[in-house]
Chain A
Amino acid sequence: MAARRLADLRTEQLSVNIGPQHPSTHGVFRMNVTLDGETIVALKPVVGYLHRNHEKLAEKMTYLGSMPYTDRLDYLTSMTNNWAYALAVEKLAGIEVPERAEYIRVIMAELTRLVNHCLLVGFLTNDLGCFFTPVLYAFREREKILDVFEDVSGSRMMCNYVRFGGVRVDMSAEALDETRRIVAAFPAFLDEFEKLLAENEILIQRCQNVGILPAPLAINASITGPMLRASGVNYDIRKVDKYGVYDRFSWRVPLGTVGDVYDRYYVRVLEMRESVKILEQALAQIPEGPVSNPKVNRMLKPPQGDAYARIEGPKGELGFYLVSDKSRNPYRYKVRPPSFINLTILEDMCIGHKVADAVVILGSVDIVLGEVDR
């Protein structure tokens, strides 16, 4: 009797809307999820809530005028955004950068990577339900680094520090010493952070074999950064392009094996350790000298043409494509945002998992909506 009644029951797929106002979407991001029972059968990301047409705004401004705007793309990593944009303009206009400035850029970029990866690990555990304790550990370390950013650039988050042909002001000896102290103390924090989480039973249960991204799909879908390396692809733009002075440091590229959420978490932990290595070497080698190129005019007019430059941002390949028509404003200014393109395969990773897993998978992609929507 009971069996017959069960068979008579009609079942249907359920469409659930997650976001845009939801703490686990990391901002104003929406997922249209179709569920069969609790299993995801389709997931469509909906973005654009924060769209302000950054690229159009840049066409109306001078090259230098866009620099503060790049801070607002991925507002956790303004230093690397500045650097990527400066690199594109330097390529377009053929500007040389003094050696000390290159070192300062590397130091700032690696500190930014520490900040970003720390926070990502913290927020990932938030998504797992471990509410805010690891994030606050991460924030404690981030504060120290933000103090250095404030010291050199005057701002904690919107640094606007890098300039075409160098950086805005030199790093003082005190700031360098403070950075050395932070870098020296960082491995102890990483040990603690890793001990707290890496072998945690709940983290392993929730993350291993969840949201697997196979390497061929990752490459085909233009996935870059820690996500690509977690899938076992050895591709780090710092090694491939050797921009700046990255060829002078010895460090390794951590790789994952399975490409699941756990690998994406652990690759970031290991990357922080490599960043510490790079920082130690950069802080030891940094030469004296000028930090800006005196030939760069405020009203820069690059020659006609186009250029694409990219860096290994904390979230992946951050590229800028610029077209110049010899005027003071870029004719076309295009951002290649890593978090936007890394979202392409969110559906592929989530299909077959539960809704709670989709939240974790999204957390492991590492998006910032300021950059996704531009």
Chain B
Amino acid sequence: MDAAERVRERILAAVPGAEIEVVAGVQPSLRVDPAHLVAAVKFVKDDPDYRMDMCTCVSGVDYPDSGVIEIVYHFYSVEKRLGPMILRTCVPREEARCECPSLTPLYRGAEFQEREIFDLFGVRFTGHPDLRRILMWDGFVGHPMRKDYVPEDQDSLEDMEVAVRPEDTIN
């Protein structure tokens, strides 16, 4: 597959105005701004040279010092047997602006993984068809994978109120 710099140029040509930088490392990757993420992903998905048809892994990483949560996407191409192509995007970590465009309309495989990041990191994925908590229970307060999360006191667990939605009650 092309080197990260070349992929960057090709995405820039297809998605004008996108802010993309190359992140060096063992596996070089591209950091895309959230506003142009979907367009960039659409390009690598449809481009005949890349055909990234599988969104294998979606991970969230919390960076409280920089005030961002980074979402890292690992794409592979099953058709062309290429990959991984790694794209990442940073969203603000404060509650009000913690939003990222969802890739679920493009890749079904992102559905549960984005729900997991919503659940554990508190990132709201706009355009996700079914954004609910998945591992923690509804009514749980907080996002346990954030670095500043304080675990609850084990002794007080019994007293916690657990909200039960009507559709979850057992008939």
Contact = CB atoms under 8 A, between A and B. Distances in A.
Contacts of A374: 135
A53 B109 CA distance: 21
B148 interface: no
Contact of B59 (A15, A32, A224, A321): A321
Contact of B171 (A17, A219, A345): A17
Contacts of B18: none
B141 interface: no
Interface in B119-151: 120, 133-137, 144-145
B108 A321 contact: no
B81 A240 contact: yes
Contacts of A92: 26
A353 interface: no
B25 A305 contact: yes
A16 to B, nearest CB: 8
Nearest to A304: B25
Contacts, number: 100
Contacts of A47: 134-135
Given A32-B167, A91-B26, A307-B27, A221 B109 contact: yes
Contacts of B79: 219
A172 interface: no
A222 B54 contact: yes
Nearest to A343: B112
A127 interface: no
B144 A308 contact: no
Interface stretch (A97-105, A256-264, A334-342): A334-342
A354 interface: no
A56 B66 CA distance: 20
B109 A308 contact: no
Interface of A: 15-17, 32, 46-48, 51, 53, 55-56, 91-92, 94, 217, 219-224, 233, 235, 240, 305-308, 310, 317, 319, 321, 323, 331-332, 334, 336, 340-341, 343-345, 373-374
B145 A341 contact: no
Contacts of B26: 91-92, 94, 305-307
B112 to A, nearest CB: 5
Given A233-B78, A321-B74, A336 B56 contact: yes
Contacts of A317: 56
B39 interface: no
Interface residues of B, number: 37
Contacts of B167: 15, 32
Contacts of A345: 108
Contacts of B61: 323, 331-332
Contacts of A32: 167-168
Given A220-B107, A308-B27, A48 B78 contact: no
B27 A319 contact: no
B170 interface: yes
A334 B53 contact: no
Given A17-B171, A307-B26, A344 B72 contact: no
A308 B86 contact: yes
A214 B147 CA distance: 40
Nearest to B79: A219
Given A47-B134, A91-B26, A341-B109, 14 more contacts: A46-B168, A47-B135, A48-B135, A48-B137, A51-B136, A53-B144, A53-B145, A91-B27, A235-B78, A307-B26, A308-B57, A308-B84, A321-B72, A344-B111
Nearest to B140: A48
B53 A219 contact: yes
Contacts of B27: 91, 306-308
26 contacts: A15-B171, A17-B170, A48-B135, A53-B145, A55-B120, A56-B145, A91-B26, A94-B26, A219-B54, A220-B108, A222-B108, A235-B81, A305-B25, A306-B26, A323-B61, A332-B61, A332-B62, A334-B57, A336-B56, A340-B112, A341-B112, A344-B108, A344-B109, A344-B112, A373-B135, A374-B135
A341 B113 contact: yes
A332 B54 contact: no
A344 B55 CA distance: 13
Given A32-B167, A308-B57, A308-B86, A222 B145 contact: no
